[in-house]
Structure 1
Amino acid sequence: MANKGSKGWQGSALAVVAVVAVLGLTGCNTLGLSRSPRNNGDMGNQFVDRGFRGDMLVSRMKPVRLRLQNGWQAAPTGTLHPNAELEAYNPDQNLFLVVLGESRAAVSPGNLEEQASNYLQILKGGFNQVIANQARTGVDRVSGFPAVQYEVRGDVSQRPVAYLHTTVEMGEEYYQVVVWTPDDLRMANADAMRSVIQEFRAAQQ
C-alpha cells in the first residue's frame, strides 16, 4: 500500500508541477490579452450563468463557481491555463484568475497548511527568480471553507508578476485559487485581488 501511495503522489506531483508551471508562464504571456478575445462559443470547462444576483462563472467539471464582479469576464477556454476549472480576467485592471481542483486522494497525505505550502513551492518553481519571499495573509476562510493564502512575487519569462495564491479545502477536494497581475500594479490591484477570491464558492452556495 505504501508503494502504491508513493507512486500515486509522484505522478500527481509531476502533473501539478506541469500545470502550475504553465500557469506562471502562460499567465505572464496573457498579461497583454486582448480586451475582446476571440471566443468560438465553446466555453469548455465553464459557462456563465446570468441571473438577478449577477453573473456566475460555473465549472462543468467540479461543483464550484465564481461570481464575476464588475469588470471581470470569462476567459476563452485554455487562454490562462489548459486544465483550469474556472478562468477569468479583468482587462481594465490587468488581472487574471484561475481555479485548479484536485482530489485529496491524489495528493500526499497531510493537512491544509502542508498542501498550501506544497502548491506554493511548485508555483515558485516556475519562476526564473523570486522577487520577494512569500508572505502569509490573514485569510483563513473563503466562503466559509478553510483556506490558506500567500502573496508571492516572481520573475517569469523576464516579466515580474505578483500572485495571490489561495488553497481552499472543500470536502474531499483542494482548490487553488490563483490571481495575478503585473508586479508594478500589485498595490493598485491589491484590494481587487483579495475581493475576487472571496467570490469563489461551492456550486450550491
Structure 2
Amino acid sequence: MARSSWRTGVMGLGLGLLLSGCQTLGLAGSSPDGAIESGNQFVSRSVRGSQLISRTLPASLSLRRGWQMAPPQTLHPNADLQAYHPGQAIFLVVLGESKTSVASGTLEQQALQYLQIMRRSFDQVTSPESRTGVAQISSYPAVQYAFQAAVRGESVAYLHTTVEMGEYYYQVVAWTRADRYPANADEMRAIVQGFGPD
C-alpha cells in the first residue's frame, strides 16, 4: 500500500468529539522551558503567539485564539500536527510526506490524488469538491478544495489544502459539522493560512 493511502484516512477524524460537542481534551504536561508537549508535537509560546510545531517534519501551525493542541492520535493516528477549537467545534490535522514517496506529478494532480483517497473513507460525498481561490499558504504553492461528506451518518464540511513546501507535500485538513460551516468557514480558512515551515 502506498504511503499516501494510509496517511490519508483523515476523514472521520475526531467525529466522536464532533458528535459529543467537543469536550475538553486532556493535554500532556509542560516541559521546563514552558513548552507544552504531546507526542510528536509541542506548543511553543512567545510574544508573537503560540506555535504548534511538529517533531517529525519541518512544519508548524500558528494557533489562533481559542485553538488548542489535540493529544496524539486523538484526531488521526498518523498526524504530524493536530489541533481543535472547542468553542467552535472545528478540527484540523496536518499530514506530511516526502515528495519521493508519492507518484510524480503536479501539485494539482497530487491534491486530486489525496481527494480520491479521502473519498474512500466516507459513507458518501454529499457535495462536489469545489476549488477555492487559494493558491498559496505562507508563500508556498497550494491547492484548496471545500466539500461535504457523510461520515457515520453525520454531515461534515471539509476544507482540504495540499501545500508544496520544500521536499514535502502537506495535507492541511480542517473540518466541522456541515450545519456549522457557514459560521465556521472564515475561522477554518484563517487557521489553514497559519500553516508554514518550522
Equivalence for 1:61? 56
CA positional deviation for 1:91: 0.4
SS at the partner of 2:77?
Answer: coil
- Give the distance between the partners of 2:196 and 2:41, measured in 1 at CA: 14
- 1:38, distance to aligned residue in structure 2 (A): 2.4
Give distance in 1, aligned partners of 2:6 and 2:104: 20
Gapped regions of structure 2 (runs ≥ 5): 30-36
Work out which of the residue numbers 135, 160, 164 in structure 1 matches 2:155: 160
What CA distance in whole angstroms lies between the structure 1 residues aligned with 2:22 and 2:125?
A: 28
Residue 28 of structure 1 is matched in structure 2 by 15
2:139 is equivalent to residue 144 of structure 1: yes
* Contact 2:84/2:91, CA 8 A, preserved across alignment: yes
Write 1 or 2 for the structure with the bigger share of helix: 1
Matches within 5 A, 1:15-164: 15-21=3-9, 23-31=10-18, 32=20, 34-41=22-29, 43-164=38-159
Deviation of 1:125 after TM superposition, in Å, equals 1.5
2:22/2:89 contact within 8 Å kept: no
For normalisation by structure 2, the TM-score amounts to: 0.92
Matched positions, count: 190
How many Å separate the matches in 1 of 2:165 and 2:87? 31
**TM-score under structure 1 length normalisation:** 0.89
Q: Mind listing any 5+ residue stretches in structure 1 that lack a counterpart?
A: 1-10
CA contact (8 A) 2:54 2:81 kept: yes
One-letter amino acid matched to 2:130: A
Q: How far is the alpha carbon of 1:33 from its aligned partner?
A: 6.1
Alignment root-mean-square deviation, CA? 1.3
> Following TM superposition, by how much is the alpha carbon of 1:24 offset from its aligned partner in structure 2, in angstroms?
1.5
Deviating above 4 A after TM superposition, structure 1's stretches of 4 or more consecutive aligned residues are: none
Q: Which amino acid aligns with 2:63?
A: L
CA distance in 2, matches of 1:29, 1:65: 25
